[in-house]
Structures are given as C-alpha cells and as structure tokens.
Amino acid sequence: MKRRGVAIVAGLAAVLVTAASVSMGTAATESPRQTAWKLAEAVIKESSPNRGIPGFLNWAIPREIFPCRIQPNGKSDPAAPRDLFDESFHYNPEAAARLCGPLTRGPGAPPLDRALNYWAGSHPRASMIEPPFPDGAHLAAAFWSTVRRPTDPHMGKFVELPVRSGAQTLSRRIRITIPPQMSSPSSSCGPPNGQGEPAMAGVTDVSINDFFWIKLKPGERYSGASCGDFAVLVAFHLVHKVQGRWLWTTFWWDSEPNEFAAGRPGNFIGAGENPQAWRKYVMDATYEPTGAVFNPWRIEERGDNCARCHKEVTSYKDDTTGEQIFFDSVTAARTHFN
C-alpha cells in the first residue's frame, strides 16, 4: 500500500512538472531554435491595422515612438499613414512602452529620450535602465529588395542572396519573375515601366510568390520602385525577451533549405497572398554572445555576433567621467538619449 502511494505521488509530481513547463511556455526545456520558430510563427501572422502584412511590420517605428509623449504608451497612431519602408526597425507595444518608460525607478526619472541631464546629475549614476525590458518585448528589422514591374513580362530581376551552409557564407544568384497577371496595368498605378533582365543559363528563375512581398501603393516609393512595383522580403531579424534573456534570431530566404530549416513547425505560414512563402525562410538563433550568427545584410553588422555587438552599441558613455549606462544590451535607444 505504502509503495503504491509513493508511486501515485511521483506520478502526480511528473504531471505537475510537465504542466508547469508547458504553461511557462518554454525556454527551460526548449532549444533556442524551437523557441525561435514558435515566437516567429506568432508574429508573421497578419494583424491589424495594416492588412496583408505580418504582425511585426505593424509594430511601431522609432519616428512613432520618439519623442516620447507626455502620456507614454508606446502605441503608434493606427490612423496615421505610414510608408512601410522609411524605417526598417520595429518595436512591439511592450518594447515601445519601455522605450518611453522612466530611465530608472528613481523618483522623477524622465523617459529615456530626455533623461540625459537627470542621469548626469544623479549620484550614483545608474549603470543600467531599470527595470529592463519585460518578457514579451520584441524587436524586428526587415531587409527588402525591390522588383519593378517589367514592360515585357518575360523579364525579371537578378538578385544575389547571401545564404549560409554550415559555417560558410555562399551566394545564390536567382532571377525573380512576376507572373503576367500580377504586372498588368492597373487603374491606380498605370502601366509597368521597369526594364528587367532576360533569363540566363545557370541562373534559376524564382517566382516572386516564393517570397513574402508587398505591392507599393500610389505615392509610395522605395529604392527606385513606385506604385505597382514590389518590395520583396529577403531577410529579417526578430529579437525576443524570453525569461529575462534576449533571444537573437535571424531569418533569410533560401531556395535550397539545409540544416537551418531544421525544426520548422509543420504549419509555418504567415501574412500575405502566399502564406506558404514563409516556409522558404531559414533561421539561426542564439541567446549567447559567442558563436557565429548569420547576418550578412548590413555591411556594418557582418562577422560579429548579435549579442556581443549590441552590448557595445547599446551603452551611453560620459566622455568626462567614463561612466556608462546600458540600455539592456539590445536597443540603439541611446541614439535618442538626450
């Protein structure tokens, strides 16, 4: 009898432990990649206010967050028109709210964007924003390539996409083509006027529908493209605060998926007319400041680890005293630290 009681208690304990790790939703038991796929899956889905685009592109951009308002809520004005491409950095409401929260818990501490004098005059000076960003804060950066509608539908656009294989960086040369019905003249945008390039031996043609794309609306311009042309998502970063740590993740398009596709959820689909296109992106993720994380899109970010570099670029240093304050090792908020 006694033994049986012990067995029941042990069984119950196992159930409770399992339930706890499921409800905590993660990190203790999951690999960084598993957590990264799951968190990404949630933010590539369509969300308001802009239909047809992934949730993370709807997050506020710095121009909407700074200067912080009197009543900081970190929310962008959903009614305000916005050119999606004038900024590639986005902050979810939790992250945006912290960016406009008080610098520290000190009495009268002003919001981050006008706290420099307060910090400089305080003794001792805080070495870190307090509290740090909360769990559930997310940051994103998007990298686009433009594809103009060609006058001749047989034309396309050559792009060189950096991809990773093992520890190596390779480049895939492809030609992005637009199905004729997608580039035909439209009443709001007029006829296509891009020149485009013909097919070439050895270069694979890829339909634009294998990417997440956005069609530019009247008045929108981006890097030589205008109304009716396309911006194609070639890569993106998502950075998540998970149980007190930053999870650095980076996604890139690759026509030939390899180990970086591993663990992708079976139903990894997102916003846009081709929800399946999101399954063409592969991913690398880490919590650690060491080790390579693939990141070839911004020249200034090449060859270094996300976490290690962000630790440096996210501090403000007083030139005279040498004292420093850190913005939780993630955000370039210091550029707004006035």
CA dist 122 and 119 (Å) reads 5
**Rounded to the nearest whole angstrom, what is the least distance from the CB of residue 51 to ligand HEC in the complex?**
24
Q: CB-wise, 230 or 327, nearer to ligand HEC?
A: 327
CA dist 126 and 190 (Å) reads 57
**Rounded to the nearest whole angstrom, what is the least distance from the CB of residue 91 to ligand HEC in the complex?**
7
- Interface characters, 285-304, with ligand HEC (x: CB under 6 A): --------x-x----xx--x
Q: In the window 141-170, what residues touch ligand HEC (CB under 6 A)? A: 141
Q: In the window 228-267, what residues touch ligand HEC (CB under 6 A)? A: 237, 239, 248, 250
CA-to-CA separations, 236 to 75, 161, 164, in angstroms, rounded: 22, 13, 15
**Rounded to the nearest whole angstrom, what is the least distance from the CB of residue 110 to ligand HEC in the complex?**
19
Residue 172 identity (one-letter amino acid) = R
Can residue 282 be called a binding residue for ligand HEC (CB under 6 A)? no
Q: CB-wise, 230 or 337, nearer to ligand HEC?
A: 337
| 3 state SS of 250 | strand
State residue 140 phi and psi, 5-degree precision.
-145, 155
Q: List the one residue from 58, 209, 226, 331 that touches ligand HEC (CB under 6 A).
A: 331
Burial group, residue 71, by CB count within 10 angstroms (0-12, 13-18, 19+): exposed
Q: List the one residue from 50, 122, 315, 335 that touches ligand HEC (CB under 6 A).
A: 335
Q: CB-wise, 155 or 307, nearer to ligand HEC?
A: 307
CA dist 296 and 214 (Å) reads 22
Q: In the window 39-98, what residues touch ligand HEC (CB under 6 A)? A: 89
**Rounded to the nearest whole angstrom, what is the least distance from the CB of residue 304 to ligand HEC in the complex?**
4
Burial group, residue 123, by CB count within 10 angstroms (0-12, 13-18, 19+): exposed
Contact 190, 227 (CB under 8 A): yes
Q: CB-wise, 41 or 304, nearer to ligand HEC?
A: 304
Q: List the one residue from 93, 189, 332, 334 that touches ligand HEC (CB under 6 A).
A: 332
Q: In the window 192-231, what residues touch ligand HEC (CB under 6 A)? A: none
The 10 Å Cβ neighbour count of residue 227 is 16
The 10 Å Cβ neighbour count of residue 302 is 12
Residue 204 identity (one-letter amino acid) = T
Contact 133, 98 (CB under 8 A): yes
Can residue 140 be called a binding residue for ligand HEC (CB under 6 A)? yes
Contact 282, 293 (CB under 8 A): no
Q: CB-wise, 176 or 247, nearer to ligand HEC?
A: 247
Can residue 310 be called a binding residue for ligand HEC (CB under 6 A)? yes
The 10 Å Cβ neighbour count of residue 24 is 12
Can residue 334 be called a binding residue for ligand HEC (CB under 6 A)? no
CA dist 271 and 41 (Å) reads 10
The size of the interface with ligand HEC (CB under 6 A), counted in residues, is: 20
Taking CB positions, which residue lies at the least distance from ligand HEC? 306
Q: List the one residue from 189, 309, 311, 326 that touches ligand HEC (CB under 6 A).
A: 309
CA dist 32 and 221 (Å) reads 37
The binding site for ligand HEC (CB under 6 A) comprises 89, 139-141, 237, 239, 248, 250, 293, 295, 300-301, 304, 306, 309-310, 313, 331-332, 335
